[in-house]
Structure 1
Amino acid sequence: MFDTRPDREAEVALVGRSNVGKSTLMREITGHSFDTGGKPGVTREPNHFDWTAEDFVVTDLPGFGFMSGVDEDRREQIKTDIVRYLEEYADNVLVGILVVDGKSVIDIIDRHSGPDEIPYDVEMFHFLRDLDIPTVVAVNKMDKVDDRDERLNELCDRLGLLPPWKQWQETIAPITAKKGRIEPLNEAVRTHLHEQNRDDLFKFF
């Protein structure tokens, strides 16, 4: 179980597969680098960035899904730990940010959609919402995507949101974290913070 969490009332949590750019996004949000290592699955414990004065923490949870060189038991354990963490702190998490790779997410979802399989990303999206955590999907690496609107509409379709994506701007946020282009995400996060009377946290987003 992840037990490194600072005792804070309010939290924003980042979840997503390995290698989708969560740590880069975390750096953009917090202004601080975290030791991510070059290999997928290196972030094994949550990275917490703590603002004590605001009683607020931003958490980057370890990547889930396939990781080269990581055996299946370990992968399943990480996923279980993430699920337990989110269940335990659901009341504290003001916004859950599911980070996906805009370039590959549709292929990954479709590849893992057997009759009995729900792809991790889709499962995590609905899991967060089932916990009543306001959820934003940060669709990262959009600078590498040509057919932007089409791709985002397809993602909505896979997540069970009726396209066009533009009617879901508090849920779908196309970004390029590496280039610092995360304004759609900030706006979506602020919408959810405002609904929970936490405008005091806007300065972080």
Structure 2
Amino acid sequence: MDSFDTRPDRDAEVVLVGRSNVGKSTLMREITGHRFDTGGKPGVTRSPNHYDWTAQDFVITDLPGFGFMSGVEGDRREQIKTAIVQYLETHADKILVGVLVLDGKSAVDIIDRHSGPDEIPYDVEMYHFLRDLDIPTVVAVNKMDKVDDRDERLDDLCDRLGLLPPWKQWQDTIAPIKAKNGQIDALNEAVRTHLHEQQRDDLFQFF
């Protein structure tokens, strides 16, 4: 198992979680200004990427993608998911904000495809898991440049996450972004709201 215990000793953390290939590494690069390996194929990030500022007691972590990855066996996928869950549980009291990154174009379809009597879709499960850990959660809905019916799509997503539409009343939770184009203001605003509630305005400089 790739190492999940490389976390710098920091008391404040923001984590990015999400399926493979939703643009987490691109978003991480936008936030930090630092390049990480972004692969053309899903599942390139196999262990957490941490980025910390030595002068600050703060780290941003990009956790590996979960869910289906072409070319990655089911057992391995489960191992990664288990490791992510354990990481979040272990560090929950230090995580100021959890950012669940979704692909705006495909998220609703993927959720619907995996919704059944015995099945909770990964994205919905992860959203509620973060909330259950009392981690303030922002859903970064990425790749919105590929979405035509924007409001309708975001309303549908709220519905699947158990938030009553319209999405615009959830702007501390739902943040439509285009990470590749550097358009992440909605995410920064939402993250700042949660940082402010925890008296951490000193971290605004990063968002």
Q: TM-score, normalised by structure 1?
A: 0.99
**1:51 shift after superposition:** 1.1
**Among residues 146, 149, 171, which one is paired with 1:147 in the alignment?**
149
Where 1:166 maps in the other structure, the secondary structure is helix
Unaligned runs of 5+ in 1: none
Q: Which residue of 2 aligns with 1:57?
A: 59
**Among residues 115, 118, 126, which one is paired with 1:116 in the alignment?**
118
**1:52 shift after superposition:** 1.9
**1:53 shift after superposition:** 1.3
**Which amino acid counterpart does residue 8 of structure 2 have in structure 1?**
P
Separation in 1, partners of 2:104, 2:38: 21
**Which amino acid counterpart does residue 103 of structure 1 have in structure 2?**
K
Unaligned runs of 5+ in 2: none
2:11 touches 2:57 (CA, 8 Å); kept in 1?
yes
Where 2:39 maps in the other structure, the secondary structure is coil
Separation in 2, partners of 1:39, 1:166: 33
**1:101 shift after superposition:** 0.2
Q: TM-score, normalised by structure 2?
A: 0.98
Q: Say whether 1:179 aligns with 2:181.
A: yes
Separation in 1, partners of 2:147, 2:18: 19
Separation in 1, partners of 2:48, 2:119: 27
Q: Which residue of 2 aligns with 1:37?
A: 39
**1:95 shift after superposition:** 0.2
**1:36 shift after superposition:** 2.4
Separation in 1, partners of 2:142, 2:106: 10
Separation in 2, partners of 1:13, 1:135: 10
**CA offsets 1:6-29 (integer angstroms, 9 cap, x no match):** 000000000000000000000000
Separation in 2, partners of 1:50, 1:201: 12
Separation in 2, partners of 1:36, 1:70: 17
**Which amino acid counterpart does residue 154 of structure 1 have in structure 2?**
D
**Among residues 105, 127, 130, which one is paired with 1:128 in the alignment?**
130
Q: Which residue of 2 aligns with 1:2?
A: 4
**Among residues 78, 86, 97, which one is paired with 1:76 in the alignment?**
78
Separation in 1, partners of 2:64, 2:104: 19
**CA offsets 1:134-172 (integer angstroms, 9 cap, x no match):** 000000000110100000000000000000000000000
Q: Which residue of 2 aligns with 1:138?
A: 140
Separation in 1, partners of 2:42, 2:183: 23
Separation in 2, partners of 1:23, 1:62: 9
Where 1:173 maps in the other structure, the secondary structure is strand
Runs of 4+ in 1 over 2 A off after TM superposition: none
**1:37 shift after superposition:** 2.4
Quick one: percent identity of the two aligned structures? 85
Separation in 1, partners of 2:39, 2:175: 26
2:12 touches 2:94 (CA, 8 Å); kept in 1?
yes
2:26 touches 2:38 (CA, 8 Å); kept in 1?
no
**1:42 shift after superposition:** 1.1
Separation in 2, partners of 1:52, 1:162: 41
Separation in 2, partners of 1:152, 1:38: 27
